[in-house]
Structure 1
Amino acid sequence: MNTRLTRALASVTLFLALLGGLAFAGKAITHMLDDGAICVKTDFWANASLGPEGLPVAEGVKATSSTARLCQDSPSTGQRAAELGGALPWLLFAAVAMLLFSRLLDGVVQKGPFTETVARRLSVLGWFVVVGMPVAGLVVGWSHSWLVGSMAPIVGSGPTFAGSMEFVFAGLAAVIMGRIMRQGVRMREDLEGTI
């Protein structure tokens, strides 16, 4: 096993996790302190034929087309938080996933690939992806829906889901592999105990 390469990969993933965490914190702080307009896109009116009165949007909202880009010049705190909710969950998800992956690689370097520590860390990473991906997608989808609904009350769509579910299957595979590895480690320990 090439421990030098694994150690380098662990360092790179830890650096990416820290970078993602800094991006999360920086975006949250700068965005909440910003007093500029916020914009959101929706395709709710994509097939509509619009009359001369334009799109039915809330007061102070500008809509640019039937595949609308809605912009609010003086957004409320809730609108600003909802716009932030469209980006921050993915940054947080990516940063934590990279941190967990870095810890998994550290376990491989320190204790070897087929150990209880690595199996446990693989399972933790898998469960984080299985649960975190849908939660982040729901938060992003709900934030987007709420923001569009606050700017165009007639839309009033319920919460939606943003993202793809392929990562959930990868997370389930990691959980299963972690359980298989854990059983393998126990069998090896039992075999070493009998010899």
Structure 2
Amino acid sequence: MTEDRRMLEPMATIVSVVLRVLLAFLTAGLVYSVIHGSWGDLNVCVTDESATSSATAHSFTPESGAQVDSVPRYCAESPSAHLRLLNELGELPSTLLLISGLALLHQLLQGAAKDGVYTARTASRLRLLGWWLLAGSLAVAIIEGNARAALLAALAKGEDFTAGAWLDLWAPPYLAVLTGLGLLTFARITRAGTSMREDLEGVV
């Protein structure tokens, strides 16, 4: 499998290093929270990107033919545990999806280097990564959008936690969805190539 291992570099090494660095930072953050007896970010803020108005501050002077817009940003002075939880739900899922996706990619690359690129096991791992990225990115976008909408409703007067507010703050993960679909396609191609190779080996 030396040739397969060579084909997977330098991607396999880069993914391994990045995954270890991210896990180290995550572990350090958890240890820091335990030592200081606190959790969550004390700076809880949310930006209402759906509401814009023309800025009148003299410190923001546009060029001729340009206009400055102001976007309201709400911050809690002394955030409660509930607000800190909403703030974490608006940011943490993306980090967890990134780390878990890198872990699956690392498992895929290591397994392909060991078992071979054109194997049924490699195709299964590729399909798992595709489904994880496809479903996970959609779930993360929904969770974070709802959390930001709930946080905005808690900090801004006149804002309610509604489906419309969630849609205004929801960022569809187009690239992640397309990448997941692409991985599922390549998983089918890999499985078909594996079957063809097994058939040829059987004939020989």
How would you bin the TM-score normalised by the shorter chain?
A: 0.7 to 0.9
Residue 3 of structure 1 deviates from its aligned partner by 2.6
Q: Bigger CA drift: 110-119 or 121-130?
A: 110-119
For the Cα contact (< 8 Å) 2:41–2:88, is it kept in 1? no
- Partner in structure 1 of residue 17 of structure 2: 15
In 2, distance between residues paired with 1:24 and 1:142?
24
Task: Please point out which of 156, 174, 184 is paired with 1:175.
Answer: 184
- Partner in structure 1 of residue 143 of structure 2: 139
Residue 184 of structure 1 deviates from its aligned partner by 2.1
Q: 1:25 to 1:163 in 2, by over 3 A?
A: farther
In 2, distance between residues paired with 1:177 and 1:5?
16
In 1, distance between residues paired with 2:38 and 2:85?
7
Q: What percentage of residue pairs aligned between the two structures are identical?
A: 26
> Within 5 Å, which residues of 2 pair with 1:94-105?
94-105=98-109
Does 1:125 find its partner at 2:134? no
Q: TM-score, normalised by structure 2?
A: 0.75
Q: TM-score, normalised by structure 1?
A: 0.78
Q: What is the identity, as a one-letter code, of the residue corresponding to 2:178?
A: F
Give 5+ residue unaligned stretches, structure 2: 56-68
In 2, distance between residues paired with 1:144 and 1:25?
25
Can you list the C-alpha shifts for 1:4-63, whole angstroms capped at 9, x where unaligned?
Answer: 5735532331232233344445556749536834221113431389xxxxxxxxxxxxxx
SS of corresponding position for 2:79? coil
SS of corresponding position for 2:74? strand
Give 5+ residue unaligned stretches, structure 1: 50-64
RMSD between aligned residues: 2.8
Q: What is the identity, as a one-letter code, of the residue corresponding to 1:167?
A: A
SS of corresponding position for 1:43? coil
- Partner in structure 1 of residue 75 of structure 2: 71
- Partner in structure 2 of residue 112 of structure 1: 116
Can you list the C-alpha shifts for 1:65-105, whole angstroms capped at 9, x where unaligned?
Answer: 96211111122212101111121111111111111111111
In 1, distance between residues paired with 2:127 and 2:179?
11
In 1, distance between residues paired with 2:39 and 2:145?
23
Aligned residues: 180
